[in-house]
Structure 1
Amino acid sequence: VPVRAPSVCRPRPPAALNDGSALPTGRFSFNVNGYVKETERGLQCTVGSPVSPSRPLWATVDKAPVLILGGFSKNKAVLLSDSDFEDFIAVEVDIDSCWIGSLTCPWSEFSSTILDAIATESTLFIRQNQLVYYFTGNYSVLHMATPGSTLWTRVLNRVCVGKLNPVPFSHNGSEYVIAIGRGQQKADFFLGTIRGRTRGRGAHRGRGSQPGCHTRIQWAVYIPEENKTLLLVEQERDNATSYHVVPAASLPLPAATEKSFVMLMGFEEYSDTPMVLRGLSYNPFSTIFYIWGNAILQSYDIKNYLFLSGFPSQSVIKYFIQSYKGEVVCVTEAEEVWFLVEGSSAVQQLYPSSAWSTYANIQLLRGSQDYGVNESSLSFFYNQEGLQQLVYIHDRSGRIVKRKFPIAYILSELRFIGFTNLCPFTVMKFRDLPKPQRFSRLEHYRAEPPVVTDETGFHDNKSLAVYQGLVFHLLWLHSDYNRPYADPVHDPTWRWWKNRKQDADYYLYLASTGSSPGGLYINMEHYTKVYDLRSDNELPEQIYLDKGDAYTFSVTLSVHSTADDSKGKPLDFLSRLKLTVVLSHPFNVGFSLQRQNLANWASVLYKVRRGAERGPRTGVGTTSWGPLCHRRPCRSGYRMVPVYVGCPPGKRMAFDITNTVQYTTSMNKRYFNCLSQNPEMPCFFFKDVFYPLFLIQDMVTGDSGSFSGRYTLKVIGAPTTASSERRDERGRLGAGPRPLCWGGGGGLCLWGTAKGSRTWQCPLPGDTEPAALRRWLCRRNSPCHDVAPVGLTAPNYFFLVAVSNRDVDTSTYCDYSLEFVIHVHGLQLSSTRKLFFMKVGARGRCPRPLEHPPAPHGRPENRLFPR
């Protein structure tokens, strides 16, 4: 638009489109802003620093119980929420806010703003200026080595921290946080590890002191599974700026083409727009790596990159949000919101857009409390329900509201004019799905409130307190069930009701007559573990596959076609519809598809099977289906499911004490139990052959069966009693003679030393067939070699035994480990003690006459028992 000198503000009437549409009369102003200038980093304000209301919400994915949001200008305040910001509290953090500026760590201006905030499963991290603090929560269930914090603790005291970067996923019980330096440490970053306590370690030191070359780390991404750190390094040399992904080459900004992407191979044309890169992002499920700034570069192997030319180079991304389920959202410095699907090259602008304005106006007309005329965006984040937006509505009360961002509505409106049908199909159904618990590994319990037997039937504080106690006891049984000995019935609630089942009819009779104690009736069938959930025709959130497992289901796509489309071509419209499967780790997960056209139903049936026959011992992969369709109120046609190949959680090995006693009795033709019997721990006779049997119990599905693989069994300790501390006893015995393990056929040598050596012999695989002989042997110098009897009973002993199938069993990906105590009685006396008792017996039969006066207190002096 031409600008008439000397004015920089020009009214402009709207022009007609000459298509018959009537436009209302009006004018708008075209203003030229002389208070900004264009630099290499984009538009910069010259009158000061503009306030950016939106900031990222960083947390460990699906693990952080509390979310924390900072970034409130000139306030030491953060927002804390344990409900995904359904509700929250504003907290002023209690930190010293000391100002430590120096030549090595220059800071242009002191600010009390909490600039970065990260929430992990156990710890909160914040950064104010160059100072980093952490606060540890009080979580007894995490078995942390340190108690919860009472004050914020400063960490990295000698480091000039310029930025905190999150690590979205934990690994092997550890969580991580990355700190990037500034000042003279601008080429350094530090990786903090959280495992019970927080500690930091330097991981990289750049060469920032070379003449004419200045290096600065912009972003860092840590991949725990591969123990690899990727750095986005900005290098300034001879007044030229280049970017490197370490290790990578310089990445200039390519020129956009008519296609939605450019394959960077070194032969493409480049534009004159300088590249401004701000950060990195990596999805471990799809193995897609992103570099973002005023461009989006996508890579599947961190070597070859695709330039997504649909994103404008005039916008600079401020933060990058991944759902880790196939969707990515970018928020720019101008508060623009962009959307893309992983694996696709199309980038769509969601806000500002005409579709967003239409949707927001409709919500205002409906009187929705989640929308306002004047509002500011605080943050975006993904949860189980999709993309969420946290906004501040400027009304009389000034409210902060969390609302679901309408991605499906906006995308369907943006594509409404371009397509007759928004999707090539109308209905997508999943059929023939297996029971979900075996593959999703989620445990379910049934806990209904007690029945109030009075006339009103209303609950009061007393009944609710009873219900709370019942639920607490049910959860306690769940956590306490992980014991080494298998119960006769594989159910955590079996011990609760085993002695009360016979009285169930009596309690029901009392409830029917209104005579229940306390006016409450508790039905024992309402507090059980649920093993037989049915599929709701939806794929699980994640799938776990063990060795040889396969997940099979069917997908039906019903086609929407007009009479003109299908006239004379009954199967032509079905041929346009295809199902695509993308595997991120094809070496871990196998896949097969079978297609069948159902012309009478205008549908296509796909039978899908995926298995882990070729999978490694541990691995992860994703499976996604296309095409993606945008139909209100939700998107359809696209699913991304993480597939974990390895040991499914919830499986354990247990000592089958019931069948072990029965089989040992049948094979030895006898069974001698201890005089003082313990039903929780039966005794085994020392001279009998020991036939241990083990079970593999599935805590999710309720399956329990004999272990048929190979294992190693060794004695690692000897507690004095069944309830003594086994760890301390094992450590004490480690200084003495070392135990031997199961032999090839000579039996079990307990605490016998190897010839010429005092080292622990390696364990040999134990034969799982019951015919294998396992006898108890207690040789010289072992604790069980010379055990003194108590009273008139034979000596007995407790052995701490460890069983594992690690490195010897190839039937499963699970590494089972089990420690349990075996009570053995009837041990033989050592030769020294036999001779001692023989001498005592002989002396007792032939007493000598007293040559000395009696000892004090009337006790005779016995020289066999010196004082």
Structure 2
Amino acid sequence: MNEQCEVWYGVAAETVVLKLLRPSSGYSLYSFLGGQITPSDFHEEEQTLSIFFDADNQLQEIIATVNNSTEKLRIIKRGLEVADIIEHEEWLLRKEELRQDDTGSFEMPPPCPFEVLRFEFTNIQPYSRLKQYKLEAPYVSFNDRLHTAESLKVYQAIVHIMKSLDENAPLEVNELTRFDPVNAWRQSKLPLMPYNDYIFRNHLLESQIAISPLEYLKLNDDIDVEATSVMPEEIFLDHCEIFRFAVYLTATINQGNSTSSLDDLRLSVLVSDNNLLQVSTNREVFHLNNSVKYQVDVADRGNLGSQSVPGVGLRPVSVTFNVWNSPLNCFTHDVYSGNQLQGTKSLSVQLGCPSGRHLVFDVDGTFQQLRTSYASIYDCPIPDPKYPCFYYKQEFSPVFRLLDLATGRSSLFTGQYSMIVIGGSVDNPTNAEYFNNQQIAQYNVQNGSGPIIWKPADVRSHGNGSVPIFTHEYSGILWNCEQGSPCGSVPMNFPWPPEYYFVIQVTNRDVDSDSTYCEYTTQFTIKVHGLELSKNDLVIIVGWSLGISLLIILIFVCCNRAKRRPKRKPRPRRKRSRVAPMPTIRESELSDDSETDEEVLNIEEGFGLGDISRVNVNTPGVLNDPSRSSHQSNLHVPTIIPRHVTSERL
């Protein structure tokens, strides 16, 4: 709108095409036919205060007018139907040209060079980033089969639940299945579905409102959604990604059954920034049905030169598609949307990291790769289902996947990344201690400046000698908990070996700008068991082992000594009435030259028992020797005195 309050409408094609909307003959005809309605109680004089495009890309204007009855100023918003105004203008121009034609022929070349313009998009969801869900309204068993406020509340609650599940679902990836946040909720409701269906069909449900879990699911373009002909408002392209679609043009048939020339049926493309975006076309002509097909590729050139988190820092580039001689000349008629301009389509391309993409640690893929490297996997003695467990002596080779929340698909991450340990805990991963920047550099940088926690398994994973850079092919690390590191002196939980929870951060920041515009960062916690024992634990174990060994040896020696000691046989008691052997004491001849005294007692059997007494036997040669004491010279031999005792010298 210029200073003279003229409203001009234009399209930027090969050249800028402008047409006057108001005042114009087309606007007057459109207003006369009742297209531009103004309430009867307003003056015809009006003044436009503002003109703009709304969110639906419809031209709107703000006008000021005065009420006839109250003489008060009123502000009104009114839409300008551009297609209707231009179509009426074209009709008047064609009528004037027909009137001035002196040949008498009523055939005129149509103003629009094509009859059909159709776009065909397949698998558009990864680029449009629109999530599609199937959410049917609840079933009602009312007599009129109409929904009430209660049933609409149920439907609103279900929609809220679906949105909450989509936003708060845990990011889990699997190579064989898609990420579906609704699936867990649907599976939990399926067992009750036959019962709910029975009571609903038999009118036993008090609320008379029922839902079916099968009516709530996430749609995917490559499975559930057919190809569409509606061009999206905007698409998102990552580094060197390509968006492909097809454009079909069918020539217009004139009144004499002649068709427009197919050579003139062409598509032109206008790009706002050719340094960032490249658009290429491939033209095919089909003479059988008088149509032309264009295969269009919209590709990122990879010149953006920056990384950002998903959905942030996007760079918009505009692409306009025009059919020759069609801007402001072609119209389409629709019952619901009315007349629309045709022949020109605009597409906004957002270059950068698309929203909804995440880097996720693939636990199943990591264990699968571990099984291919080792014959056996040593799992934790006490496994924790929330945290995957790995063995300290085995190489840790993590696998990562890129999860796209828009499509639910995940793909193997093959870019470069760096990995560091940012925290850990001995027994409670929820209260893990996070390291400061100095500790992170000390424990992770491979330059020998301090005790490290890990080291790369392959020297090809080093980036510049101190900061390791990993890829999918070289992703293994070896645990090396040196003394002084947090995991270097972990106490053992007897009888199990030491365990430690590691909090690991993986990012491709500043190391993968050549393959993606996305800055992926993820954190995950793993459990490592079988750590090396500390010196204190070794001393305690050796001390306890020696103590237990000595105790076992002492018990063994004592048991063996007790076994070797002879057992004393108990003396049998003799009864007086029993017959005992008859002893006979006989003094043997002793040599006078012997220095020792010897006594030989010969026991002979006898009969009968007598009283028990002592007999003093004096050794010959020493009986009258006063130099010997009485106790040395006397030999006291306990014996049994029988009835008849025979002694040579007594």
The TM-score with structure 1 as length reference comes to 0.51
The question of whether the paired residues in 2 share the 8 Å contact of 1:741 and 1:761 is answered with no
Aligned counterpart in structure 1 of residue 201 of structure 2, from 512, 520, 530:
512
Query: Helix, strand or coil for the counterpart of 1:601?
Result: coil
Instruction: Say if 2:510 is the partner of 1:787.
Output: no
1:694 Cα deviation after fit: 1.3
After superposition, the CA RMSD in angstroms is: 3.9
Query: Helix, strand or coil for the counterpart of 1:528?
Result: strand
Instruction: Say if 2:386 is the partner of 1:680.
Output: yes
1:761 Cα deviation after fit: 8.1
Alignment of 1:423-438 (within 5 A): 423-438=111-126
The question of whether the paired residues in 2 share the 8 Å contact of 1:737 and 1:751 is answered with no
1:681 Cα deviation after fit: 2.5
1:656 Cα deviation after fit: 0.9
* Residue 351 to residue 680, structure 1, CA distance change in 2 (3 Å): farther
The question of whether the paired residues in 2 share the 8 Å contact of 1:409 and 1:631 is answered with no
1:683 Cα deviation after fit: 2.2
Match of residue 236 from structure 2? 544
Alignment of 1:460-859 (within 5 A): 460-481=148-169, 483=171, 489-515=178-204, 518-532=207-221, 533-562=225-254, 566=258, 573-612=261-300, 616-617=304-305, 620-626=316-322, 627-632=326-331, 633-665=339-371, 667-674=373-380, 677-718=383-424, 724=430, 729-730=433-434, 732-736=435-439, 738-741=441-444, 749-750=452-453, 762-769=466-473, 773-790=476-493, 792-809=495-512, 810-836=514-540, 838-839=542-543
Q: Distance in 2 between matches of 1:839 and 1:393?
A: 101
Match of residue 351 from structure 1? 22
Q: Distance in 1 between matches of 2:191 and 2:465?
A: 52
1:638 Cα deviation after fit: 0.8
The question of whether the paired residues in 1 share the 8 Å contact of 2:330 and 2:343 is answered with no
Larger helix percent: 2
* Residue 704 to residue 681, structure 1, CA distance change in 2 (3 Å): same
Query: Helix, strand or coil for the counterpart of 1:828?
Result: coil
Instruction: Say if 2:148 is the partner of 1:452.
Output: no
Query: Helix, strand or coil for the counterpart of 2:228?
Result: coil
The question of whether the paired residues in 1 share the 8 Å contact of 2:45 and 2:65 is answered with yes
Q: Distance in 1 between matches of 2:472 and 2:35?
A: 71
* Residue 408 to residue 441, structure 1, CA distance change in 2 (3 Å): same
Q: Distance in 2 between matches of 1:489 and 1:605?
A: 34
* Residue 581 to residue 824, structure 1, CA distance change in 2 (3 Å): same
The range that moved more, 707-716 or 334-343, is: 334-343
The question of whether the paired residues in 1 share the 8 Å contact of 2:420 and 2:440 is answered with no
1:377 Cα deviation after fit: 3.5
Q: Which amino acid aligns with 1:628?
A: P
* Residue 495 to residue 669, structure 1, CA distance change in 2 (3 Å): farther
Alignment of 1:15-34 (within 5 A): none
Gapped runs of 5+ residues in structure 1? 1-330, 753-759, 848-867
* Residue 506 to residue 489, structure 1, CA distance change in 2 (3 Å): farther
Q: Distance in 2 between matches of 1:843 and 1:517?
A: 75
Q: Distance in 1 between matches of 2:160 and 2:23?
A: 49
Q: Distance in 1 between matches of 2:174 and 2:163?
A: 19
Alignment of 1:141-180 (within 5 A): none
The question of whether the paired residues in 1 share the 8 Å contact of 2:398 and 2:476 is answered with no
1:617 Cα deviation after fit: 4.8
Query: Helix, strand or coil for the counterpart of 1:738?
Result: helix
Instruction: Say if 2:44 is the partner of 1:406.
Output: no
Query: Helix, strand or coil for the counterpart of 2:282?
Result: strand
The range that moved more, 735-744 or 639-648, is: 735-744
- 1:820-840 residue CA offsets vs partner (Å, 9 max, x unmatched): 222223333222343255457
* Residue 494 to residue 709, structure 1, CA distance change in 2 (3 Å): same
Match of residue 852 from structure 1? none
* Residue 535 to residue 390, structure 1, CA distance change in 2 (3 Å): farther
Q: Distance in 2 between matches of 1:802 and 1:659?
A: 18
The question of whether the paired residues in 1 share the 8 Å contact of 2:112 and 2:330 is answered with no
- 1:754-792 residue CA offsets vs partner (Å, 9 max, x unmatched): xxxxxx98432224238x642222112211112234565
Q: Distance in 1 between matches of 2:40 and 2:423?
A: 65
- 1:413-450 residue CA offsets vs partner (Å, 9 max, x unmatched): 34444455663324242244212212211112222222
Q: Which has the larger Rg?
A: 2
* Residue 678 to residue 743, structure 1, CA distance change in 2 (3 Å): same
Q: Percent identity?
A: 26
The question of whether the paired residues in 1 share the 8 Å contact of 2:491 and 2:534 is answered with no
Instruction: Say if 2:69 is the partner of 1:363.
Output: no
Query: Helix, strand or coil for the counterpart of 2:261?
Result: helix
1:654 Cα deviation after fit: 0.8
* Residue 366 to residue 736, structure 1, CA distance change in 2 (3 Å): closer
* Residue 469 to residue 721, structure 1, CA distance change in 2 (3 Å): farther
The question of whether the paired residues in 2 share the 8 Å contact of 1:751 and 1:778 is answered with yes
Q: Distance in 1 between matches of 2:409 and 2:219?
A: 12
Q: Distance in 1 between matches of 2:375 and 2:194?
A: 41
- 1:80-138 residue CA offsets vs partner (Å, 9 max, x unmatched): xxxxxxxxxxxxxxxxxxxxxxxxxxxxxxxxxxxxxxxxxxxxxxxxxxxxxxxxxxx
The question of whether the paired residues in 1 share the 8 Å contact of 2:119 and 2:231 is answered with no
- 1:362-401 residue CA offsets vs partner (Å, 9 max, x unmatched): 3378787999845554432222232222345644697655
1:540 Cα deviation after fit: 1.5
Larger strand percent: 1
Gapped runs of 5+ residues in structure 2? 95-107, 307-314, 332-338, 456-463, 552-650
Q: Which amino acid aligns with 2:164?
A: W
1:682 Cα deviation after fit: 2.6
The structure, 1 or 2, with the larger RCO (C-alpha pairs under 8 Å, 6+ apart) is 2
Q: Which amino acid aligns with 1:442?
A: L
The range that moved more, 472-481 or 702-711, is: 702-711
The question of whether the paired residues in 2 share the 8 Å contact of 1:714 and 1:763 is answered with no
Q: Distance in 2 between matches of 1:735 and 1:763?
A: 15
The question of whether the paired residues in 2 share the 8 Å contact of 1:674 and 1:825 is answered with yes
Query: Helix, strand or coil for the counterpart of 1:587?
Result: coil
Q: Which amino acid aligns with 2:50?
A: S
* Residue 364 to residue 407, structure 1, CA distance change in 2 (3 Å): closer
* Residue 605 to residue 338, structure 1, CA distance change in 2 (3 Å): same
Query: Helix, strand or coil for the counterpart of 1:766?
Result: coil
Q: Which amino acid aligns with 2:87?
A: S
Alignment of 1:375-414 (within 5 A): 375-382=46-53, 383-391=55-63, 394-395=66-67, 401-414=76-89
Q: Distance in 1 between matches of 2:49 and 2:507?
A: 52
Q: Distance in 2 between matches of 1:665 and 1:795?
A: 23
Q: Which amino acid aligns with 1:825?
A: H
Query: Helix, strand or coil for the counterpart of 2:497?
Result: coil
The TM-score with structure 2 as length reference comes to 0.66
Q: Which amino acid aligns with 1:520?
A: I
Q: Distance in 2 between matches of 1:492 and 1:635?
A: 40
The question of whether the paired residues in 2 share the 8 Å contact of 1:588 and 1:616 is answered with yes
